[in-house]
């Protein structure tokens, strides 16, 4: 039975007075009697199951708040946590009762694992459920979110076994899984989680008291869910660290020593959306108002609260983008024509190059609709060290994480640019790691060349298909720099010829009409206009 815990508006959590996966924790000690060990190895006519015993004590917490009757739930995906307009004011003589907040269950704390036991120093054996960790953490997280966002909604959470059916991100966009100990997903849990994340949901993993064995298990088990994906450290400019608060440093407690450190969060991405989030430093004690364990690694007090609010706000704001990525995209729409038609390639490399599904179709359809050019709709993917790169006079390159090119890719790109090819590169979601990586790797390709800012009067913008000397940026980009109004593009020239066009802002999300609320880039219409200008400029030069 699912337990719904309601968070009332006036309640506040108690405010009490780590780090990377740098080393492997010692394996857990499984202590069994000689009889049980003999049965496990050689079998017996009777079945015996050893209780798994751990060498780190469970979190101590008071009983959870009283259970309230479940409210009628609404689809949480309909609300993204945006503060609504306050509406008309009331006259002082009016005595109206404000409408009650809308109750929205937006998070499931998932039940997983087994019943463990721990032997205290006095010999007392304590048995406890692995998944609970701090029993109050989800309750107090939602209470803090309600107080900090104050958007007219009463966000709630529930608990549900991860192996049970019915996880739908339209109803519940966020799963929360906390713990201190090693674990293994069952096949059903792997299947449920893969489906939930692929359909637009997000899961938050937190090592409740910063135990490495839990975080290492997350990294290992997520390879079963998505074998081709890996957890990557989120950069400082990631929206997870900027959705509600700008989190630059977090107060951390390790071995009784308190200090500040940059946020350490890992994400497994679908598109540029963080579908799985791992926080390897404990937040459960701060959320629940419980003592910090001296052998744990904890984010302390306000730091943990702000990070928790940011994560929930990010997930609420990314629901529409998650549903966009979950749809089935056509490979191409139209007839591939032979002969004198336009085609371009997408550069495939070791980084996050394929973050905009069906982008080539969007570009080519826009080109044909707006210019009448005949296009080849068949998607083309090229590697920088492939001789067939020369067959694409224009290639696009994107990504949102740092990367390194191989020596063969460096040489292949150099040869391509010197022979007349053109590269159009853009930082997906406008994130800094790709910007740093692209500039560094391009310097290896053309050591004597420099990226020079292109003025708004450059023919690339001021003439051609549609002049774009003034462009509109997304709200997320304007939040960082309200003065943005002209194209922010850079060029690399070889013998007076423009061979590389680069922008540190997101260009492709707008062209692809992606509903990514956190993309820092050009708005959709202007992004399309700029790409059309780039293509027509390339064809005429």
Our CA dihedral for 267, 229, 344, 455, rounded to 10 degrees, sits at 20
Q: Which of 107-116, 233-242, 342-351, 364-373 has the lowest mean pLDDT?
A: 364-373
The pLDDT assigned to 170 comes to 93
The pLDDT assigned to 88 comes to 37
Give the residue-averaged pLDDT of 351-370: 86
Whether the CB-CB separation of 454 and 492 falls below 8 Å is answered with: no
Distance in angstroms (rounded) separating the CA atoms of residues 515 and 368? 23
The pLDDT assigned to 339 comes to 59
CA 326 to each of CA 175, 275, 512: distance values in angstroms, whole numbers, following the listed order:
17, 12, 14
Print burial letters for 103-129: b (CB count within 10 Å at least 16), e (below 16). bbbbbbbbbbbeebeeeeeeeeeeeee
Q: Using the predicted structure, report yes or no on whether residue 77 has a pLDDT greater than 90.
A: no
The pLDDT assigned to 334 comes to 55
Distance in angstroms (rounded) separating the CA atoms of residues 510 and 524? 4
Task: Place 8 in a pLDDT band, splitting at 50, 70 and 90.
Answer: very low
Whether the CB-CB separation of 484 and 499 falls below 8 Å is answered with: no
Domains 3-28+61-325 and 330-540 alike in fold:
yes
Q: Identify the DSSP state of 132.
A: T
Whether the CB-CB separation of 118 and 57 falls below 8 Å is answered with: yes
Can you give the C-alpha Rg of the chain in angstroms? 27
- Average pLDDT value over all residues in the chain: 84
Distance in angstroms (rounded) separating the CA atoms of residues 43 and 62? 42
% of the chain at pLDDT higher than 90: 67
Give the residue-averaged pLDDT of 212-233: 97
Q: Identify the DSSP state of 473.
A: B
- Look at residues 187, 192, 199 and name the one whose alpha carbon lies nearest to residue 177: 192
pLDDT digits (tens, 9 = 90+) for 88-138: 333 444 455 666 678 889 999 999 999 999 999 999 999 999 999 898 899
For the chain, what are the domain ranges?
3-28+61-325, 330-540
Q: Which of 9-23, 29-43, 329-343 has the highest mean pLDDT?
A: 329-343
| Cβ atoms within 10 Å of 2's Cβ, excluding its own | 12
DSSP conformation letters of 47-69? ---PPEE-SSPPPP-PPPPPP-P
Distance in angstroms (rounded) separating the CA atoms of residues 273 and 357? 13
| Cβ atoms within 10 Å of 386's Cβ, excluding its own | 16
Give the residue-averaged pLDDT of 402-429: 96
List of residues 6+ apart from 380 with CB closer than 8 A = 343, 344, 345, 346, 360, 392
Q: Which of 164-168, 219-223, 361-365, 465-469 has the lowest mean pLDDT?
A: 465-469
Task: Place 41 in a pLDDT band, splitting at 50, 70 and 90.
Answer: very low
Q: Using the predicted structure, report yes or no on whether residue 9 has a pLDDT greater than 80.
A: no
The pLDDT assigned to 187 comes to 97
Q: Using the predicted structure, report yes or no on whether residue 226 has a pLDDT greater than 90.
A: yes
Whether the CB-CB separation of 144 and 5 falls below 8 Å is answered with: no
* Burial class (CB within 10 angstroms; exposed 0-12, middle 13-18, buried 19+) of 37: middle
Q: Give the CATH architecture of domain 330-540.
A: 3-Layer(aba) Sandwich (3.40)
Distance in angstroms (rounded) separating the CA atoms of residues 451 and 447? 11
The pLDDT assigned to 385 comes to 96
The pLDDT assigned to 5 comes to 41
Task: Place 44 in a pLDDT band, splitting at 50, 70 and 90.
Answer: very low
Q: Identify the DSSP state of 27.
A: P
- Look at residues 363, 500, 355, 476 and name the one whose alpha carbon lies nearest to residue 418: 500
Does the domain formed by 3-28+61-325 have CATH 3.40.640.10?
A: no
Give the residue-averaged pLDDT of 350-367: 87
- Look at residues 206, 194, 178, 313 and name the one whose alpha carbon lies nearest to residue 265: 206
What angle in degrees, to the nearest 10, is found between the helix axes of 432-445 and 407-418? 70
Q: Which residue has the higher pLDDT, 224 or 71?
A: 224
Whether the CB-CB separation of 248 and 102 falls below 8 Å is answered with: no
Whether the CB-CB separation of 403 and 350 falls below 8 Å is answered with: yes
If DSSP codes are grouped into helix, strand and coil, which group holds residue 537? helix
Q: Using the predicted structure, report yes or no on whether residue 240 has a pLDDT greater than 60.
A: yes
Distance in angstroms (rounded) separating the CA atoms of residues 110 and 177? 6
pLDDT digits (tens, 9 = 90+) for 267-276: 999 999 999 9
Distance in angstroms (rounded) separating the CA atoms of residues 38 and 21? 36
Here the tokens at position 161 are 């076994």
pTM of the model: 0.83
- Helical spans, DSSP H, in 43-136: none
Q: Quick one: how far is CA 506 from the chain centroid?
A: 16
H or E stretch covering 310: helix 301-317
- Terminal CA-CA length for the chain: 67
CA 388 to each of CA 18, 165, 347, 413, 442: distance values in angstroms, whole numbers, following the listed order:
47, 47, 12, 12, 20
């Amino acid at each position: 039975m699912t337990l719904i815990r309601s968070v009332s508006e006036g309640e506040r959590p108690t405010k009490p007075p780590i780090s990377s996966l740098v080393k492997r924790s010692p394996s857990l000690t499984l202590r069994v009697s000689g009889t049980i060990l003999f049965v496990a190895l050689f079998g017996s006519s009777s079945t015996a199951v050893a209780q798994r015993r751990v060498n780190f004590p469970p979190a101590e917490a008071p009983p959870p708040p009283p259970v309230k009757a479940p409210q009628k739930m609404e689809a949480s995906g309909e609300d993204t946590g945006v503060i609504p307009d306050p509406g008309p004011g009331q006259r002082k003589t009016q005595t109206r009762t404000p409408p009650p907040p809308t109750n929205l269950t937006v998070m499931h704390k998932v039940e997983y694992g087994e019943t463990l036991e721990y032997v205290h120093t006095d010999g007392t054996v304590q048995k406890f459920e692995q998944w609970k960790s701090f029993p109050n953490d989800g309750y107090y997280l939602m209470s803090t979110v309600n107080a900090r966002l104050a958007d007219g909604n009463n966000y709630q959470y529930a608990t549900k076994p991860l192996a049970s059916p019915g996880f739908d991100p339209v109803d519940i966009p966020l799963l929360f899984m906390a713990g201190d100990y090693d674990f293994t997903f069952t096949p059903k849990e792997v299947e449920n989680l893969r489906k939930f994340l692929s359909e637009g949901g997000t899961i938050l993993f937190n090592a409740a008291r910063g135990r490495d064995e839990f975080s290492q298990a997350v990294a290992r088990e997520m390879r079963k869910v998505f074998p081709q994906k890996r957890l990557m450290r989120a950069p400082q400019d990631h929206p997870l660290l900027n959705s509600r608060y700008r989190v630059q440093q977090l107060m951390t407690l390790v071995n009784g020593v308190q200090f500040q450190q940059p946020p350490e969060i890992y994400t497994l991405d679908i598109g540029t959306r963080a579908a799985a989030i791992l926080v390897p430093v404990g937040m459960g004690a701060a959320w629940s108002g419980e003592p910090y364990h001296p052998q744990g690694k904890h984010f302390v007090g306000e730091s943990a609260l702000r990070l928790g609010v940011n994560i929930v706000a990010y997930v609420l704001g990314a629901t529409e983008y998650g549903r966009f990525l979950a749809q089935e995209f056509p490979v191409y729409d139209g007839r591939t024509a032979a002969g004198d038609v336009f085609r371009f390639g997408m550069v495939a490399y070791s980084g996050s190059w394929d973050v905009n599904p069906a982008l080539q179709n969007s570009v080519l359809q826009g080109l044909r609709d707006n210019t009448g050019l005949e296009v080849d709709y068949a998607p083309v993917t090229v590697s920088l060290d492939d001789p067939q790169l020369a067959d694409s006079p224009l290639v696009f390159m994107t990504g949102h994480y740092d990367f390194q090119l191989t020596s063969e890719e460096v040489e292949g790109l150099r040869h391509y640019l010197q022979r007349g090819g053109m590269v159009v590169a853009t930082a997906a979601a406008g994130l800094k790691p790709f910007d740093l990586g692209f500039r560094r790797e391009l310097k290896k390709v053309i050591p004597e060349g420099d990226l020079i800012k292109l003025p708004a009067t450059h023919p690339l913008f001021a003439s051609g298909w549609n002049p774009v000397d003034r462009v509109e940026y997304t709200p997320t980009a304007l939040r960082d720099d309200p003065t943005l109004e002209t194209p922010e593009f850079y060029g690399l020239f070889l013998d007076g010829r423009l061979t590389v066009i680069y922008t540190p802002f997101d260009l492709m999300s707008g062209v692809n009409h992606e509903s990514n609320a956190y993309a820092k880039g050009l708005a959709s219409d202007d992004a399309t206009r700029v790409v059309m200008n780039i293509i027509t400029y390339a064809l005429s030069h």
